Amino acid sequence: MASVLRFRKLCYVESAVKCTSVGYESFEIDEKLDKKEEDVLSANNFALEINKKRKQPKRQPKEWRCLDSCCWIIGYLCTTWWLLLFFYHCLPVTLLRVPELPGPGVRLKREGLTALHPVVLVPGIVTGGLELWEGRPCADGLFRKRLWGGGSFTQIFKRPLCLLEHLSLHYETGLDPQGIRVRAVPGLVGADYFAPGYFVWAVLIENLAKIGYEGKNLHMAAYDWRLSFQNTEIRDHALTRLKSKIELMYISNGYKKVVAVPHSMGVIYFLHFLKWVETPPPMGGGGGPGWCAKHIKAVMNIGPAFLGVPKAVSNLFSAEGKDVSYIRAMAPGVFDSEILGLQTFERVMRMARTWDSIVSLLPKGGEVIWGNMDRSPEEGHVCDFSKKSHSKTSLTTNNVNNSDVKRGFLVKDLANYGRIISFGKPASVLHSSKLPTADSKEYSRTSTSENFNNFSCGEAWTEYDEMSRQSIQNVAADKAYTTTTLLDLLRFVAPKMMRRAEAHFSHGIAENLDDPKYNHYKYWSNPLETKLSDAPDMEIYCMYGVGIPTERSYVYKLSPNSRCKSIPYQIDNSVHGEDGSCLKGGVYFADGDESVPVLSAGFMCAKGWRGRTRFNPSGIATYIREYRHKPPTSLMEGRGIESGSHVDIMGNFALIEDIMRVAAGATGDEIGGDQIHSDIIKMSERINLGL
């Protein structure tokens, strides 16, 4: 019985094992079938996906956005910076070291020169430092910190809109806005460096110190360069303080007359001072007719903007110049980006149009000086700048050498420089008889049919926002403007600015200087509307660089941008002349120091004041000292010691030596008389101005 049971158990286990094995085999078969089905399905799906991709259109290349341009520029700058750091740290020190040449101060000290006449330095526009005394909440922590010049400019990046607000003046008064006080940084530190490592007056100050100059006989006449010249006296008593300082230096230095050294716009600021100081109060300083003859030995004008600069035109008209125009061409839309919300040009224009000082730099003398639609004093001048000669000229009396300049400025394609603004290249070259008449009086600002910026744009940033589209288009309309019609144009597009500024400045030519109206301060900074002081022993120098392409006139176009608060005009950087032409990137170039054309810097010393004229009745001696530009041969030389560029010339050893010799007692004849490399004499002869 037990064996039977054992047999049945064995049969049961065996059958169970068999069933299990059969079930497992059937499961494996099913699994293989499922896998095959999945493979087939996946293959079918893959084929369908390929067909879908084939049927889909090819993806279009991504459009280049202004944000991409911005990132590209930042990447480029960063890469350049790291490469410079790499070379600086990896190259041998002997290759990086620039051989130091003894400056004029060291050499002249060896010759026995010592400080004799007190020296007063007068900075120009932009280069003087400005500091905060009172401001809005956004400027907390910046009390007596520099907002402009001499610092690191970190505040520009930290709070740019706050900075622009504090640097702007009141649009109607040209003085401080409510709750904001920004003042000039006093002393030599106010304008020795514009930024760390970027000198302005520092090299000249250092060389003067070598022969004995210091605080008692060297002074920086700091002033707020944003204001009109008379307003620097009304608000800050800057002219009174300058008068007192000169009188003190005259007495404390053994009754030695002062040598004044103004630069750029500081030249016409000091010209205003010379007239103010002798005018009776309350308008003037009350020094009397003989004050200048008693206190001033010489006025050595560096980069003088006597007759204005075309750069001021483009700055007020479209907030740009050649450099800005080139950047705009390289990265279009970056500065006007709606995505980034920059609108840089509009914000800069909004600020700059509150500065009356820029209006002081508009071209003076009209078509008589700057030319009309079909002629100009520079006619026959063409710029083959690639062939400029940089050989050094020796200092000789009445040294007039034009041969090298002619090699550098070969005439090839005549330019109508008298047309300071032309809309379109044809308007800059066609004869005036083929162009429509530019008369801003025919335009109407009262048209409200279609404003350039509609009411949804909110507050007007510039006076362009108050113009109609039709008025904006009429301004362009293939027209060209001379320096005479330009003033009418600016009065039309910016009437409030011009009304405010023209209460302080004038840009014409006086017919009768004995007319009592010319006793008003608005005429004092224009050498063509005021007389020099009765100081026959005083000397006036015009000292400037030549041989650098300098902006002279512009080709404009209507801006393609029509959004709110945009500037409707811009320089047409796509316009170029032929090879060797003066027209490049929408700008016509002439000879100058990169900022001031030779015509503006040299005419008064070459003709307007030369000898006894109605502008110089006492016959004050005038001298032209031109310095041909020679750029540094490598980056290691910095900005060079023979530069003729508008600011870099302050480190020009030849110019520094001339100033030091005059300060030590030399006369204009003793330092070599005239030194001329440009065509300023020929230009002056072409100007028909009654003297």
For residue 611, the 8-state DSSP code is: S
Q: How far apart are CA 305 and CA 362, in angstroms?
A: 10
Q: How far apart are CA 186 and CA 131, in angstroms?
A: 10
* Burial degree of 57 (CB within 10 A; 0-12, 13-18, 19+): exposed
Q: Which of 117, 263, 507, 646 is catalytic?
A: 646
* Burial degree of 618 (CB within 10 A; 0-12, 13-18, 19+): middle
Give CA 629 to chain center in angstroms: 19
**Helix runs in 290-408, H state only:** 291-295, 310-318, 322-330, 344-352, 356-360, 366-370, 403-408
Pick from 301, 269, 354, 344: nearest CA to 524: 269
593 is catalytic: yes
The CA-atom distances, in angstroms, between 458 and each of 127, 348, 494 are 35, 18, 19
Q: Are strands 621-628 and 539-546 parallel, antiparallel or unpaired?
A: parallel
Q: Are strands 119-122 and 258-262 parallel, antiparallel or unpaired?
A: parallel
For the record, the structure tokens of 385 come out as: 């700048």
Q: Which of 168, 228, 264, 643 is catalytic?
A: 264
Hunting for tokens 């109206």 — which residue is that? 517
Q: How far apart are CA 664 and CA 653, in angstroms?
A: 16
Query: Helix 310-318 and helix 344-352: axis angle, to 10°?
Result: 120
Q: How far apart are CA 325 and CA 185, in angstroms?
A: 32
According to DSSP, the residues that pair with 571 across neighbouring strands are: 556
Q: Which of 336, 593, 658, 674 is catalytic?
A: 593
Report the half-sphere exposure of 333 (CA within 13 A, side-chain side): 15
Hunting for tokens 């009745």 — which residue is that? 617
For residue 442, the 8-state DSSP code is: G
Q: How far apart are CA 367 and CA 432, in angstroms?
A: 14
Pick from 567, 578, 571: nearest CA to 555: 571
504 is catalytic: no
For the record, the structure tokens of 57 come out as: 């259109």
In single-letter form, the type of residue at position 58 comes to: K
Q: How far apart are CA 645 and CA 601, in angstroms?
A: 13
140 is catalytic: no
**Helix runs in 479-559, H state only:** 483-493, 495-501
Which distant-in-sequence residues (6+ apart) come within 8 Å of 447 by Cβ? 468, 470, 471
Dihedral over alpha carbons 650, 656, 658, 663 (to 10 degrees): 110
For the record, the structure tokens of 505 come out as: 């400045």
For residue 97, the 8-state DSSP code is: P
Expressed in percent and rounded to 5, the helix, strand and coil fractions of the chain are 40, 15, 45
Residues involved in catalysis: 264, 593, 646
